């Protein structure tokens, strides 16, 4: 090997001197290397130049991108330095992130693939286990966030929660309505998590938030009111319709139970099957479901009334603002007198949140973006099985939906 810089170029490493390249018995390629003089003795955490402490555990290996079909490693000393701030730490190396046993190029390619391909494609192509991919993307995202502040320039945001695993595991997500990007996600579902977001945002940027859409959860709304003095809260109509759907389901269960207790098994069975017909928008139902609805209309007046109440509320939110406000008035006076307890209760909630609902209608700011982000996160969640903490799941979401995916190495 005549020209070491060609090897550095082929391996995709910078500020590195490749001393020697050899093929091992198992067929893998090992490049023995060292950092350039100016790159030696830097703290692995803060990159400050520090005195050497010792030689650590001796020589170490980092996986590089395969060369053709040959598994390739970079091998070098991994001395430790004594940092004023961080104490004794392994020195930084120019070819890898701190604490990683893969080169930067390897990690960037793995992150790019994790964003664009299936789990098995990434693991198979990169010859790593999926759990390692989780650690890789966590490191990549951590670094990307330092250079790209997604919290800058936020004006209109949406906050929501998403269940990512059975057993009450939740992520709180924040999206930017103006860019459509996911800008923040954290493990948790409480006001402390919401507050963490606003603390990270800082007082000055909190004051610039104009609109916040959310789903009506008190633990979100109270914190928003406290932290964002200039923001209008917009309560997503989509969630209000969801409340109506829940109320409808309660009515259906009540009449089903009544029919069962009265021994009307045929009626009870029909009602149990009616769930989907009642849930769907009339435009999307099958002819069989339409028949079910017609039967309910004839035989079960309260349930049909509940269905109409849900449907009408859904339609209210599709009207232009002024009409919607008037239609909401009519809906409320009907719901209050409908003698169906779940809807009377719903009318009370809608009255209570009315200003926030109208703000959403007026500003045309629904949580639809957050909802679509949530749907995408749910798909990401399925790929994240095998990760052992929420951090890699959050990293995968930030890569895909926060625009933090790095370019493929050598092509950026
Ligand atoms: Zn340091």
Element (H, E) at 279: helix 275-279
Q: pLDDT per residue over 317-372, tens digit each?
A: 888 889 999 999 999 999 999 899 999 999 999 999 999 999 988 887 766 677 78
pLDDT at 89 (0 to 100): 96
Q: What is the rounded distance in angstroms from the CA atom of residue 229 to the CA atom of residue 203? A: 10
Within 13 Å, how many C-alpha atoms sit on residue 102's CB side?
23
Give buried/exposed letters for 123-161 (b at 16+ CB in 10 A, else e).
Answer: beebebebebbbbbbbbbbebbbeeeebbeebebbbbbb
Cα of 341 to ligand 1 centre, how many Å? 63
Average predicted confidence (pLDDT) for the chain: 89
Nearest CA to 310 out of 366, 350, 270 is that of 350
The domain over range 103-234+366-412 is classified in CATH as 3.40.50.10260 = no
Cα of 171 to ligand 1 centre, how many Å? 32
Q: What is the rounded distance in angstroms from the CA atom of residue 91 to the CA atom of residue 48? A: 10
Cα of 39 to ligand 1 centre, how many Å? 14
292 band by pLDDT with thresholds 50, 70 and 90:
confident
Cα of 143 to ligand 1 centre, how many Å? 16
What residues does each domain of the chain span? 1-101, 103-234+366-412, 237-363
Q: What is the rounded distance in angstroms from the CA atom of residue 190 to the CA atom of residue 223? A: 10
Per-residue pLDDT at 270 exceeds 70 = no
- Is there a contact between 56 and 82 (Cβ–Cβ < 8 Å)? no
- Tokens representing 193 are 């998590």
Q: Global pTM?
A: 0.82
380 band by pLDDT with thresholds 50, 70 and 90:
confident
Task: Give the three-class secondary structure for 233.
Answer: strand
Q: pLDDT per residue over 64-95, tens digit each?
A: 999 999 999 999 999 999 999 999 999 999 99
pLDDT at 265 (0 to 100): 66
- Residues within 5 Å of ion ligand 1, judged at the Cβ atom: 43, 45-46, 83, 85-86
- Is there a contact between 201 and 152 (Cβ–Cβ < 8 Å)? no
Cα of 195 to ligand 1 centre, how many Å? 29
272 band by pLDDT with thresholds 50, 70 and 90:
low
As a whole number, mean pLDDT of residues 266-289 equals 68
Cα of 12 to ligand 1 centre, how many Å? 26
Cα of 93 to ligand 1 centre, how many Å? 14
Cα of 43 to ligand 1 centre, how many Å? 5
223-230 CB contacts, 8 Å cutoff, 24+ apart: 223/191, 223/194, 223/195, 223/198, 224/159, 224/194, 227/195, 227/198, 228/198
Q: Are strands 169-176 and 156-165 parallel, antiparallel or unpaired?
A: antiparallel
As a whole number, mean pLDDT of residues 115-129 equals 93
344 Cβ contact partners less than 8 Å away, ≥ 6 residues apart = 335, 336, 338
Cα of 120 to ligand 1 centre, how many Å? 37
Per-residue pLDDT at 111 exceeds 70 = yes
Cα of 86 to ligand 1 centre, how many Å? 5
Of 3-17, 292-306, 334-348, the range with the lowest mean pLDDT is 292-306
Cα of 85 to ligand 1 centre, how many Å? 5
Element (H, E) at 82: strand 80-83
188 Cβ contact partners less than 8 Å away, ≥ 6 residues apart = 170, 171, 172
Cα of 57 to ligand 1 centre, how many Å? 19
As a whole number, mean pLDDT of residues 294-310 equals 82
Q: 329 to each of 95, 313, 355, how far by Cα in Å?
A: 65, 11, 13
| Phi, psi values for residue 170, rounded to 5° | -130, 150
Nearest CA to 211 out of 226, 224, 194 is that of 224
Reported residue count of the chain is 412
- Tokens representing 57 are 């555990």
Cα of 42 to ligand 1 centre, how many Å? 8
Q: pLDDT per residue over 173-224, tens digit each?
A: 999 999 989 999 999 999 999 999 999 999 999 999 999 998 888 899 999 9
Cα of 59 to ligand 1 centre, how many Å? 22
Cα of 134 to ligand 1 centre, how many Å? 25
116 band by pLDDT with thresholds 50, 70 and 90:
very high
Cα of 46 to ligand 1 centre, how many Å? 4
386 Cβ contact partners less than 8 Å away, ≥ 6 residues apart = 119, 130, 131, 134
The neighbouring-strand residues paired with 173 are 160, 185
Cα of 53 to ligand 1 centre, how many Å? 13
As a whole number, mean pLDDT of residues 34-58 equals 94
């Amino acid at each position: 090997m005549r020209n070491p810089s060609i090897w550095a170029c082929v391996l995709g490493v910078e500020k590195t001197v490749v001393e020697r390249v050899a093929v091992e018995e198992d067929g893998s390629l090992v490049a023995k290397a060292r950092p350039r003089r100016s790159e030696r003795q830097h703290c692995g955490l803060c990159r400050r130049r520090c005195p050497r402490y010792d030689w650590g555990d001796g020589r170490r290996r980092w996986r590089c991108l395969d060369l053709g079909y040959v598994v390739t490693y970079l091998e070098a000393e991994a001395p430790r330095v004594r940092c004023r701030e961080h104490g004794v730490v392994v020195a930084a190396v120019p070819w890898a992130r701190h604490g990683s046993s893969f080169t930067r190029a390897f990690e960037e390619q793995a992150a790019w693939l994790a964003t664009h391909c299936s789990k098995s494609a990434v693991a198979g192509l990169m010859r790593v286990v999926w759990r390692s991919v989780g650690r890789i993307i966590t490191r990549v995202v951590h670094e990307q966030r330092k250079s790209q502040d997604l919290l800058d320039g936020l004006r209109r945001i949406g906050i929501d929660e998403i269940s990512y695993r059975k057993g009450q595991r939740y992520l709180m997500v924040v999206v930017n309505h103006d860019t459509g990007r996911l800008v923040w996600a954290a493990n948790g579902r409480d006001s402390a998590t919401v507050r963490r977001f606003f603390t990270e945002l800082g007082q000055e940027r909190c004051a610039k938030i104009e609109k916040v859409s959310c789903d009506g959860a008190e633990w979100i709304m109270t914190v928003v009111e406290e932290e964002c003095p200039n923001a209008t809260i917009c309560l997503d109509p989509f969630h209000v319709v969801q409340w109506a759907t829940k109320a409808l389901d309660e009515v259906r269960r009540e009449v089903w139970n009544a029919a069962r207790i009265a021994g009307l098994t045929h009626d009870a069975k029909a009602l149990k099957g009616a769930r989907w017909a009642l849930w769907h928008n009339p435009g999307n139902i099958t002819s069989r479901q339409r028949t079910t609805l017609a039967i309910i209309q004839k035989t079960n007046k309260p349930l049909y009334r509940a269905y109409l109440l849900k449907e009408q509320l859904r339609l209210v939110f599709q009207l232009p603002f002024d009409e919607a406000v008037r239609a909401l008035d009519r809906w409320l006076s009907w719901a209050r007198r409908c003698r169906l307890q779940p809807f009377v209760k719903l009318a009370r909630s809608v009255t209570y949140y009315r200003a926030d609902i109208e703000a959403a209608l007026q500003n045309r700011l629904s949580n639809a973006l957050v909802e679509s982000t949530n749907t995408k996160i749910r798909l990401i969640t399925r790929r994240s099985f095998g990760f052992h903490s929420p951090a890699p799941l959050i990293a995968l979401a930030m890569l895909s939906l926060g625009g933090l995916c790095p370019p493929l190495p050598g092509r950026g």
